Amino acid sequence: MAIVINLEEIKKIVADIDVVSAMEEGFVQYSNGNTVVPPVGELLFEEPKGDAHIKYGYIKNDDYYVIKIASGFYDNPKIGLPSSQGLMLLFDQKTGVPKGVLLDEGYLTDIRTAAAGALAAKYFAPKNIKAVGIIGTGIQAKLQLQYLQTHTPCTKVWLWGRNKENVAKFVKELGADFDINIAENPSEVAKNSNLIVTTTPSEIALLKAEDIQQGTHITAVGSDTEHKQELESELLKKASIVIADSIPQSKSRGEIYRAVKDGAITESSVIELGTAIQDPALQRLNDEQITVVDLTGVAVQDIMITKAVYTNYIKE
């Protein structure tokens, strides 16, 4: 009989578990070819407009397989509902028996994405972080900042967001824990920070190559389609290290896709995150390098976080 875990319980468990380490293990399994992840299923809706995506897969010789259903219905806020909805399902990999239904409403996707940002910082951020730069003011911007605390004690922040109200809201929510400076533009963030996370759905590059100082690490979280772009392609050219969470996905979406398309970098210069974190020679070598990690989101992250929540829940 499958166990049903609701959002409140999920949040409690997530606060207690090491999601960053779960992501680390997942990316290694993925890059080592130990995951089975078929193409994403998709349902499109017309009235009202919406889409549902079904992602599924497993790590070979593991205990479980996982299915994630995530939808976006963009008129939901008009009736007081979040546009993102969804749940995670966990099954016994040896028998197919359903073991867990996690009614996470998209929460675990947000968390696993933020944890991947912290993982990127662990291997690529410079030793001394003078300030954390955050581009964007949404849920993911806040979570990225919070999860970075697993890596660095730095609480000095430079923040830029297009919408002034959302900037004020961000400061109100996180101002007690962080020393937040509001930037006039993305360039001002780049001038004052050496660990930057971009979290917007922008389709026009926000950070320019000329803005970035030597020794800066950038994690690009926002772009996960062929049209979105937060980093100027020249910026990736300027970087010593360019990392993709998934090499196959970087061929069709995200910052790397755009930079390759623009001729700024070549596909062969890109290294996969799960490969790089296994080999110190592929990680940051000094405090002068500019490094970029492009996160488009990989199904193994969903597998790992679902497993982590479920196994922690049944242990209690």
Positions marked active-site: 68
Show the site string, 28-47: x = touches its own copies by CB under 8 A, - = not.
Answer: --------x-xx-xxxxxxx
Q: Name which of 89 and 265 has its Cβ closer to its own copies.
A: 89
Report how many residues bind its own copies under the rule CB under 8 A: 45
Q: How far is the CB of 225 from its own copies (least distance, A)?
A: 19
Q: Return phi, psi of residue 278, to 5°.
A: -95, -5
Structure tokens at 161: 């967001």
Can residue 48 be called a binding residue for its own copies (CB under 8 A)? yes
Can residue 57 be called a binding residue for its own copies (CB under 8 A)? yes
Can residue 73 be called a binding residue for its own copies (CB under 8 A)? yes
User: Closest Cα partner for 14 from 117, 102, 127, 145?
Assistant: 102
Q: Name which of 76 and 181 has its Cβ closer to its own copies.
A: 76
Can residue 314 be called a binding residue for its own copies (CB under 8 A)? no
- Interhelix angle 19-31/107-124, rounded to 10 degrees, is 80
Structure tokens at 284: 């940051």
- Please state the separation of Cα 61 from the chain's center in Å: 26
Pick the binder of its own copies from 31, 35, 71, 109 (CB under 8 A): 71
Q: How far is the CB of 240 from its own copies (least distance, A)?
A: 39
Can residue 204 be called a binding residue for its own copies (CB under 8 A)? no
d(CA 49, CA 75): 8
Residues 79-108 that bind its own copies (CB under 8 A): 79, 81, 85-87, 89, 91, 93-98, 101, 103
Q: Name which of 28 and 101 has its Cβ closer to its own copies.
A: 101
d(CA 169, CA 158): 15
Contact 197, 148 (CB under 8 A): yes
227 burial (CB, 10 Å; 0-12 / 13-18 / 19+) is: exposed
Can residue 76 be called a binding residue for its own copies (CB under 8 A)? yes
Tokens 């679902």 belong to residue = 306
284 burial (CB, 10 Å; 0-12 / 13-18 / 19+) is: buried
Residues that bind its own copies (CB under 8 A): 1-2, 4, 6, 36, 38-39, 41-48, 50, 52, 54, 56-58, 60-61, 65, 67, 69, 71-73, 76, 79, 81, 85-87, 89, 91, 93-98, 101, 103
